[in-house]
């Protein structure tokens, strides 16, 4: 039995020396140490030995098993290193190769201008809020002091679901919703989609975007309105921009005014963009009508406020000198990728 063990040891040394891969190594492990392995077989046969022989042979068998185990581990480590070396030599990275292109999107031009305007007003202490596009005619018209026969209420101008529910024609109803919810001081900016029954052409769309502003507090005057909107115009179009206010009429403000800015393309000299006027109309504004304050449970003897509303699409058209509104809504990537 002793000779058999010595033979196994010698044979295993030879075998392990010639191993080429980890697969072969595993096969050798099974050959010697597996359940049916050579060494295991010998150990099984130990039952037939005399009591004197048993510990001697047992010790020798254990030594050989430990030896083979150790050798296998050593060889495995060497093989792993060799494999890694081969991989590192055969694989390499060509840093001059062009990368795989991914189509990265960019912000829509309307979103970009909206973000810019939001930031200007956030800087002046306004909060951005949004409201429902499906609106009650009470908020869209009645509470905003529109008379029963105001032309904007006409079926030809407005999308109705029922007599009481419609697609909002302006963001102004959020003035009322805000004042109902919140007591002064109020400083909110309300961007959002609005809808009117307009035929689509280069300057009209049945869906477009407005931005509403509302400030209500004690002692708010027309000077606050002009100061705030003048700062806004300068931030948007540059410090040299001038503003002018023309009297106008809106049912929910009194007095009301439209604001023009000097054309940012020609700085007021007159050009194609401003149709040689030198000025561009930007927004409607005014002091919140006492009736509107009353409709919202705010005492007009104690509080006053100003409001304004502008068309985002128009501002973006002028800013980017785009001459057809439809381009903003057609989702042609060749157009949108330019911003
Ligand atoms: N809602 C008006 C429109 O759609 C725009 C407007 C004008 C809003 C004056 C205002 C304002 O808040 O004070 O024509």
pLDDT tens digits for range 90-147: 888 888 988 888 888 999 999 999 999 999 999 999 999 999 999 999 999 999 999 9
Check pocket membership of 158 for ligand 1, CB cut-off 6 A: no
Rounded Cα distance, 224 and 125, in Å: 13
Check pocket membership of 245 for ligand 1, CB cut-off 6 A: no
326 confidence band (pLDDT: 50, 70, 90): very high
Q: Which atom of ligand 1 is nearest to the CA of 286?
A: 13
Task: Give pLDDT, residue 119.
Answer: 98
**231 C-alpha to center of ligand 1: Å?**
19
**How confident is the model over 187-210, as pLDDT tens digits?**
999 999 999 999 999 999 999 999
**270 C-alpha to center of ligand 1: Å?**
27
**243 C-alpha to center of ligand 1: Å?**
18
Rounded Cα distance, 31 and 41, in Å: 11
Round the average pLDDT of the chain to a whole number and report it.
93
**How confident is the model over 43-95, as pLDDT tens digits?**
788 888 888 888 888 888 888 888 888 888 888 898 899 889 988 888 888 88
Check pocket membership of 140 for ligand 1, CB cut-off 6 A: no
Residue 166's DSSP bridge partners are: 135, 160
Residue 326's DSSP bridge partners are: none
**How far lies 204's CA from each of 240, 255, 317, in Å?**
30, 28, 12
Rg of the chain in Å (alpha carbons): 42
Residue 260's DSSP bridge partners are: 244, 281
Instruction: Name the residue of 207, 250, 286 whose CB sits within 8 Å of the most ligand 1 atoms, as the mutation to test its pocket.
Output: 250
Check pocket membership of 295 for ligand 1, CB cut-off 6 A: no
pLDDT of residue 1 exceeding 80: no
**How confident is the model over 279-309, as pLDDT tens digits?**
999 999 999 999 999 999 999 999 999 999 9
Q: Which atom of ligand 1 is nearest to the CA of 194?
A: 4
21 confidence band (pLDDT: 50, 70, 90): confident
Task: Give pLDDT, residue 262.
Answer: 95
248's CB contacts (< 8 A; 6+ apart) are: 256, 257, 258, 284, 286
Task: Give pLDDT, residue 157.
Answer: 92
Task: Give pLDDT, residue 311.
Answer: 97
Instruction: Name the residue of 145, 157, 170, 226 whose CB sits within 8 Å of the most ligand 1 atoms, as the mutation to test its pocket.
Output: 170
**How confident is the model over 209-231, as pLDDT tens digits?**
999 999 999 999 999 999 999 99
**How confident is the model over 151-171, as pLDDT tens digits?**
889 888 999 999 999 999 999
């Amino acid at each position: 039995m002793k000779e058999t063990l010595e033979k196994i040891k010698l044979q295993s040394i030879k075998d392990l020396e010639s191993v080429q891969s980890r697969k072969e190594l595993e096969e050798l492990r099974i050959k010697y140490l597996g359940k049916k392995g050579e060494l295991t077989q010998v150990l099984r046969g130990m039952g037939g030995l005399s009591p004197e022989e048993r510990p001697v042979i047992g010790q020798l068998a254990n030594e050989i098993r430990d030896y083979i185990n150790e050798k296998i581990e050593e060889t495995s480590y060497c093989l792993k290193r060799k494999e890694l070396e081969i991989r590192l030599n055969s694989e390499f990275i060509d840093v001059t190769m062009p990368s795989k292109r991914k189509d990265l999107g960019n912000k829509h031009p309307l979103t970009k201008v909206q973000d810019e305007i939001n930031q200007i007003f956030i800087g002046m202490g306004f909060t951005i809020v949004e409201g429902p596009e499906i609106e009650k005619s009470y908020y869209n018209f009645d509470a905003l002091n529109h008379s029963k026969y105001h032309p904007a209420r006409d079926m030809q101008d407005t999308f109705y679901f029922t007599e009481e529910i419609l697609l909002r024609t302006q963001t102004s109803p959020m003035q009322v919703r805000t004042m109902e919810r919140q007591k002064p001081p109020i400083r909110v900016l309300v961007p959002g989609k609005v809808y009117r029954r307009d035929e689509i052409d280069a300057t009209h769309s049945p869906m477009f975007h407005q931005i509403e502003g509302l400030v209500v507090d004690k002692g708010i005057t027309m000077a606050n309105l002009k100061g705030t909107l003048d700062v806004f115009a300068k931030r948007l179009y540059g410090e040299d921009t001038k503003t002018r206010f023309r009297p106008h009429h809106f049912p929910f403000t009194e007095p009301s005014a439209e604001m023009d800015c000097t054309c940012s393309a020609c700085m007021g000299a007159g050009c194609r963009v401003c149709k040689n006027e030198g000025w561009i109309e930007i927004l409607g504004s005014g002091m919140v009508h006492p009736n509107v304050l009353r409709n919202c449970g705010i005492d007009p003897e104690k509080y006053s406020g100003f409001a304004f509303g502008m068309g985002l699409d128009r501002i973006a058209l002028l800013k980017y000198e785009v001459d057809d509104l439809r381009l903003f809504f057609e989702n042609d990537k060749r157009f949108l990728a330019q911003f």
